[in-house]
Structure 1
Amino acid sequence: MAGRLGAGSGLRSALRKVFPNHFSFLWGEVALYSFVVLIATGIYLTLFFEGTQSEVTYSGSYEPLRGEEMSAAFASVMRISFDVKGGLLIRQMHHWAALIFVGAIAVHMARVFFTGAFRKPREMNWVVGVLLLVLALAAGLTGYSLPDDLLSGTGLRIIHAVILALPFVGERLTYLLFGGEWPGTDIIGRLYPVHILLIPALIVALLGVHLGLVWRQKHTQFRGAGRTETNVVGESVWPSFAMKSVGLQFMVAAVITAMGALFDVNAVWLYGPYDTGAATSFSQPDWYIGFLEGSLRLFPPWETRIGGFVIGQVVYSGVVIPSLIFGILFAAPWIDRRLTGDHDEHHLLDRPRDAAGRSATGVAALTVVTVLFLGGSQDVIAGTLGMSLGLVTRLLQILLLVAPPIAWYVTARMCRVLAERPGPERTERSEPIYRDSGGGYHSGPLVEKEPPQDHEQVPAEATGRST
């Protein structure tokens, strides 16, 4: 068949392609395989979910809500959780897979940044990676909003407020998206096809571009013996790399299945259907949205008036700051090139300690995101520690200004100290190790003792056998 199609040489070349063998390269594969689980579980859930806000009366198995008025979307989620065989397991697997998907992308991109793998000629692949991160966040946010429970409805209300605060277009845009005044009648029905069709299709397309660029440009690798800018040292696609990838796929699926079976997540029956007159205390979004909510909570009440329009705190914290964060992420390769003056191609990775400025900047950025993440939970922190909400907010605002420069300085100093420190010396034993006929080991020249006579008793310790 290969001879008839003329694909034999190309297939052999592809199977012989070498990939480096390092555990940190597996995070991208974890993201890919969790996305496979997302697609598989999502297809199952679409068979039972109703993406509409039409009012129904619940008559399912969960007795505390029986007879309550709710949207068809929430009622279908309750049916999946309590009446569909395996429905709760699949729904929780879907949710855990989404959390792992976003987390694996974030860790993968952190590895790429701190090792300098985003530099020439891989700038476009970095941009594709940032786009994948944005799409993963969008997929998580839209999926999180679909159940129409009290918690997800609170999140949608925040999104509604951010869009409404936009100057010039905010009011018209919210009316268009939500189908009228809040809560509207159309937002679930519009988010549903975006979540199950548009965003997954874009993710699949970008994954294809990303993997194609990795294949075309060859994989980066850490410095080491025999590794140069022109070669790749590792293992071939077939059979070693392929078998490891298959094993990792099953491992990721098994871990997600175990998490779905053992750990509750997004227990919507405890929140109940969305009610415009209620809001959940200590409500928290999924972890990957925490920094955005923290921005809304920590930003001071500033306003800017331009003509008859007001640019308020919600626009600055909900639009400007996220735009700055992702804008800097997109431009990272060109910012690095501008600051370092490095225009060469790089296929060997840096140790983070060898690029002190880049590592310090990355840690400072992570510090900003961490403080914003804590800001998204400032009410929980205040309640847990018995402090006033205002005091916790003020402390986090101060920390947001003070912590990043400190993190930058400490990281830069540590990197420089580690870079100047000599690594462990390679030592070789000056004398070989010998094993004698009695099973013992010793250094120096081999000197055999005369075997004992027949009438002499050999101790058990000398023979290595028990008596």
Structure 2
Amino acid sequence: MPSPRESGRAARWADERLGLGRVARPYLRKVFPDHWSFLFGEIAMWSFVVLLVTGVFLTLWFDPSMTETEYTGSYAPLRGVDMSSAYASTVDISFDVRGGLLMRQMHHWSAHLFIAGMMIHLLRVYFTGAFRKPREVQWVLGATLLLLGTIEGFLGYSLPDDLLSGTGLRAADGFVKATPVVGTYLSMFLFGGEFPGGDVISRFYVLHVLLVPGLILVLMTAHVLLVVFHKHTQWAGPGRTERNVVGYPFLPVYLAKTAGFLFIVFGVTALLGGLLTVNPVWRYGAYNPTQVTAGSQPDWYLGWPDGLLRIMPPWETHVAGYTLSWNIIIPILVMPVLLWAVVLVLPFVEARITGDRGLHHVLQRPRDVPGRTSFMVALMTFYAVSWAAGGNDLLATQFHLSINQITWFLRGAVLLAPVAAFFVCRTVCRSLQHRDREREARGKESGVIERAPSGGYSERHLDSSSDVPEVVS
């Protein structure tokens, strides 16, 4: 092991020739604020690292081929069954590769954490106004990362070629074919022929392990570099202004904390992968186009367009010999893109409405911007109702209700609930603002209780403009 003196000489040698020290020194001492709400972005980032590590492990044994083979592995219920090489290799990873099932489940759980972390981080950034100038580009990158993460999750979900993922691919084939004019051609290209084709797994595999992760890595790197360039936002407090950052330096404090958080995320993911079963493909069996998994549903992050699909009325029109299936086009082809576009332009729309062109580094409380907060609550309500609609069959069977009544209720709720949520949230925010103004007028609480000559009790308050106690009954 090199001594500190030898390490110092090596560092000086590299600095004199590459100039790394002069370039890195300002950033190594860069200050980062400390608050628990900033950790959601790190959860997403470190979950992606776990995805990369476990994904590399899985690629060593996974065979992305739809070639038919006979299973001869150690899982007795499937032995002798004809299946694709992709499904056979997935079962082999689960039962015959040492640590394979743990890696599979860690990979799946970290995908859930990655998308959930991005969603909550996006909400935190929005509600606190951290997306305002000069961070509009960071917001666009974050929204695009969420879209790519969702696509990446669907691609990975489809690779095992089990009955559940095959049912999802069958649905995807129908969605693609519903695309006006070019739908049939797109389906033939994607699947390598009429469904199920023979190329979809290998093509999804290339997208899943190479193209989409590469894009995510590039955009995530750009996102982090912009955080460093613009400096991190901070909550308002003593000594905190738009011109400074109060916190800890990157080296050594913040680096040690974020490295520790990496190990926490990795450890939690390992516990989830080791203790909680997720996606047990051996129970579903190999995909067969003549069969459908009962109660099959997509992963949770794709539940809301599936819910819109279930409650959409059966609208179809025929134009110039083409059938336009609006009951598929609107919920599947239009709404996801529309919602992503709405999220994408939010910082630019707010700047246009408010006329605010200043630089902002201090965060806002959601109550202080009731219109902006209420709009996102309305979007969240739309998402929640749509997501609940994705389980309308389970709601009917578990609570012994009429699925027709549930569907009609959700059709009304998906239109009316967001509007109601907007006005309720705006009223709550304004009420909280009113309470804050009352507290400001009454002064600071001192904790000192006094008794009046009449026998009543009141707390002594400090005037907001001075430290002189005053009694406010």
Please report the TM-score for the alignment, with normalisation by the length of structure 1.
0.90
Q: Deviations over 1:20-70 (max 9, x none)?
A: 111111111111111111000000000110001110011111111111111
Partner in structure 2 of residue 147 of structure 1 = 160
- Matched ranges for 1:300-311 at <5 A: 300-311=313-324
Q: Deviations over 1:337-392 (max 9, x none)?
A: 22222222211111000000011000110000011111111111111011122121
Secondary structure at 2:323 match in 1: strand
Task: Give the whole-Å Cα distance in 2 for the aligned partners of 1:306 and 1:362.
Answer: 37
Counterpart residue identity of residue 311, structure 2: L
Q: Give, in angstroms, the shift of residue 306 of structure 1.
A: 3.5
CA 1:46 to 1:308, structure 2 compared with 1: closer, same or farther past 3 Å? Answer: same
Partner in structure 2 of residue 461 of structure 1 = none
**Structure 1 stretches (4+) deviating beyond 6 angstroms?**
none
Q: Given the alignment of the two structures, is residue 68 of structure 1 paired with residue 81 of structure 2, yes or no?
A: yes
Counterpart residue identity of residue 271, structure 1: Y
Task: Give the whole-Å Cα distance in 1 for the aligned partners of 2:320 and 2:132.
Answer: 44
2:365 pairs, out of 328, 338, 351, with: 351
2:134 pairs, out of 121, 124, 142, with: 121
Secondary structure at 2:51 match in 1: helix
- Matched ranges for 1:306-455 at <5 A: 306-312=319-325, 313-422=327-436, 426=444
Task: Give the whole-Å Cα distance in 2 for the aligned partners of 1:306 and 1:166.
Answer: 13
Task: Give the whole-Å Cα distance in 2 for the aligned partners of 1:113 and 1:379.
Answer: 34
Task: Give the whole-Å Cα distance in 2 for the aligned partners of 1:319 and 1:380.
Answer: 25
Q: Given the alignment of the two structures, is residue 136 of structure 1 paired with residue 149 of structure 2, yes or no?
A: yes
Partner in structure 1 of residue 209 of structure 2 = 196
Task: Give the whole-Å Cα distance in 1 for the aligned partners of 2:196 and 2:447.
Answer: 76
1:265 pairs, out of 278, 293, 297, with: 278
Q: Give, in angstroms, the shift of residue 426 of structure 1.
A: 4.7
Q: Deviations over 1:406-438 (max 9, x none)?
A: 1111110111111121358655689xxxxxxxx
- Matched ranges for 1:2-401 at <5 A: 2=12, 4-5=16-17, 6-312=19-325, 313-401=327-415
Identical counterparts, % of pairs:
47
CA RMSD of aligned residues (A): 1.4
Q: Give, in angstroms, the shift of residue 310 of structure 1.
A: 2.6
Please report the TM-score for the alignment, with normalisation by the length of structure 2.
0.89
Partner in structure 1 of residue 458 of structure 2 = none
Q: Deviations over 1:128-151 (max 9, x none)?
A: 101110110011000000000111
Q: Which runs of 5+ in 1 are unaligned?
A: 431-467
Q: Give, in angstroms, the shift of residue 9 of structure 1.
A: 3.9
Task: Give the whole-Å Cα distance in 2 for the aligned partners of 1:193 and 1:371.
Answer: 34
Counterpart residue identity of residue 193, structure 2: G
Secondary structure at 2:216 match in 1: helix
Partner in structure 1 of residue 463 of structure 2 = none
Partner in structure 2 of residue 436 of structure 1 = none
Counterpart residue identity of residue 359, structure 2: E
CA 1:110 to 1:429, structure 2 compared with 1: closer, same or farther past 3 Å? Answer: closer
Task: Give the whole-Å Cα distance in 1 for the aligned partners of 2:277 and 2:20.
Answer: 49
Secondary structure at 2:278 match in 1: coil
CA 1:9 to 1:400, structure 2 compared with 1: closer, same or farther past 3 Å? Answer: same
Q: Which runs of 5+ in 2 are unaligned?
A: 1-10, 449-473
Q: Deviations over 1:212-271 (max 9, x none)?
A: 111111111111111111111111101111111011000000000000000000011111
